[in-house]
Structure formats: structure tokens, C-alpha cells
């Protein structure tokens, strides 16, 4: 089995559901609304992959890439349900749309833009949701994380096969994006409310492809079934 089919076989199907509003961690609220505004990049990331499918990508990767595009549509829907429950910050929404335009206009290969956005932005936001969000947001972020692990592995392999490397200007855009998201945070004795903790994690994911500081994410407080109504629990198949 080729590596792309192996990755495809790892996927678990899930259906987003409308969640109910819970309590966000005190001190994280403004940052959570900024991170939620970045959901506007889910569909463009799918479009980056669709665009790449029209170019020279390995034939063995096509089925997985097409499946990943469908995931981005599902993620957009799931995060839309979260904002239905929690509301949005209009100013953050407008700024996120400006950032999205900058990503769309950037000249790097679309596979690279998807890889950097997922590995060094989404992989930071999702643990942030899991440590600081309410029950619905923690559940959704865990499901999206499982999909994104496959996406990043796939896009890394495709980039390697095509000999692609992110430009310095794309890295600058990555830094500008994650700095804007985490800007409301300050230095804190609670590492999950500490700005530097999250910015360092993004840098390590970008340059090393891993963030050991997230080793506790697997053990991050996940919602127990009795903690909230069934409406917050996705439907798995």
C-alpha cells in the first residue's frame, strides 16, 4: 500500500452537529474569538488543494487530496456551528478576512500554503481550543485535529516529492497570522494563557515539524459524556 492510501485508511468519518454554549476559560475569550475567525481559512485551504490537483501532483496522492478537500468543507461547517453557539467578534472577523486575502494572494505553491497554514497555524489553534474552550469546542477541535494530522502528513509528502520549500515571505505571513491571533494574551504563569508558549509552538512546528510542548494535548481535558447534552457530541460512523 502506498503511503497516501495508508493515510486515507486512517481517517474516521464524523458528522458535525450544532453545539450548545458553554463557559470559556477566563482570560482566553478574546483570543478564542480571533482563532475562531481564522475558520475563514478552512475553505481557502481546500481551494489551495483543489488548485494543486489541476497542477503536477503525484497521481497516487489524488484520492487522498480530494478527500482532504471534503474535510475542509466539514471543518468549516463544524466551526460555523461553534460560532452559532458562542457568537463572533465582528472586528476579529474583518481582520481574519484580510489575512485570508493575503494567504490567497501569496505566490507560493498552493500545496505549500496549505501545509504551512495547517501545520503552523491550525495545529496551534486546535490545542488552544482544547485547553481553553468549552465542551463543544474541545470536542470539535479533537475531531478536526485527527483530520489535520492526515492532511499535514499528505501535504508534507507531496511537497517532498515536488521539491517544494516555503519561502521566507510565506513564513513572515505565518508569523503575522499567529501573532495577530495570540496578541490578546500576555505573559502568564498558566502556560496555556501565555503568549510566548503558543508563538514558540508555531515556530517549532514550522521549522522542526513538531512541538513537544503539546505532548499533553492527548491528555488535555476532553469533555466527558455526562458533562453536557448529546447535542455537543458529533455523530461517528
Going along the chain from its start, the domains and CATH numbers come out as 27-224 (1.20.1260)
Name the residue with cell 494572494. 105
Distance CA(130)–CA(201), nearest Å, equals 15
Q: Is the pTM of this model over 0.95?
A: no
| Confidence at residue 217, expressed as pLDDT on a 0 to 100 scale | 54
SS3 assignment, position 170: helix
Q: Which tens digit of pLDDT belongs to each residue from 185-202?
A: 999 999 999 999 999 999
b/e code 99-110 from CB counts within 10 Å (16+ = b):
bbeebeebebbb
List the grid coordinates of 101: 486575502
- What's the rounded mean pLDDT across residues 156-170? 96
List the grid coordinates of 2: 502506498
| Confidence at residue 213, expressed as pLDDT on a 0 to 100 scale | 78
| Confidence at residue 222, expressed as pLDDT on a 0 to 100 scale | 41
| Confidence at residue 15, expressed as pLDDT on a 0 to 100 scale | 94
- What's the rounded mean pLDDT across residues 113-125? 95
- What's the rounded mean pLDDT across residues 43-50? 91
Contact 32, 132 (CB under 8 A): yes
- Provide the pLDDT confidence category of residue 216 given band limits of 50, 70 and 90: low
Amino acid at each position: 500500500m502506498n503511503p497516501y492510501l495508508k493515510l486515507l485508511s486512517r481517517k474516521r468519518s464524523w458528522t458535525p452537529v450544532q453545539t450548545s454554549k458553554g463557559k470559556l476559560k477566563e482570560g482566553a475569550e478574546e483570543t478564542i474569538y480571533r482563532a475562531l475567525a481564522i475558520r475563514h481559512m478552512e475553505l481557502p485551504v481546500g481551494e489551495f488543494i483543489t488548485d494543486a490537483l489541476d497542477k503536477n501532483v503525484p497521481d497516487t496522492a489524488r484520492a487522498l487530496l480530494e478527500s482532504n478537500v471534503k474535510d475542509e468543507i466539514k471543518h468549516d461547517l463544524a466551526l460555523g456551528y461553534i460560532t452559532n453557539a458562542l457568537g463572533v467578534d465582528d472586528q476579529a472577523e474583518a481582520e481574519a478576512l484580510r489575512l485570508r486575502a493575503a494567504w490567497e494572494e501569496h505566490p507560493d505553491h498552493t500545496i505549500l500554503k496549505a501545509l504551512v497554514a495547517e501545520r503552523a497555524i491550525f495545529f496551534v489553534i486546535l490545542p488552544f481550543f482544547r485547553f481553553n474552550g468549552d465542551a463543544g469546542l474541545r470536542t470539535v477541535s479533537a475531531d478536526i485535529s485527527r483530520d489535520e494530522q492526515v492532511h499535514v502528513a499528505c501535504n508534507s509528502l507531496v511537497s517532498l516529492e515536488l521539491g517544494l520549500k516555503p519561502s521566507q515571505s510565506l513564513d513572515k505571513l505565518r508569523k503575522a497570522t499567529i501573532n495577530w491571533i495570540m496578541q490578546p494574551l500576555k505573559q502568564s504563569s498558566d502556560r496555556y494563557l501565555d503568549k510566548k508558549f503558543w508563538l514558540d509552538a508555531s515556530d517549532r512546528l514550522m521549522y522542526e515539524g513538531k512541538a513537544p510542548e503539546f505532548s499533553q494535548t492527548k491528555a488535555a481535558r476532553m469533555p466527558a459524556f455526562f458533562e453536557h447534552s448529546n447535542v455537543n457530541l458529533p455523530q461517528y460512523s
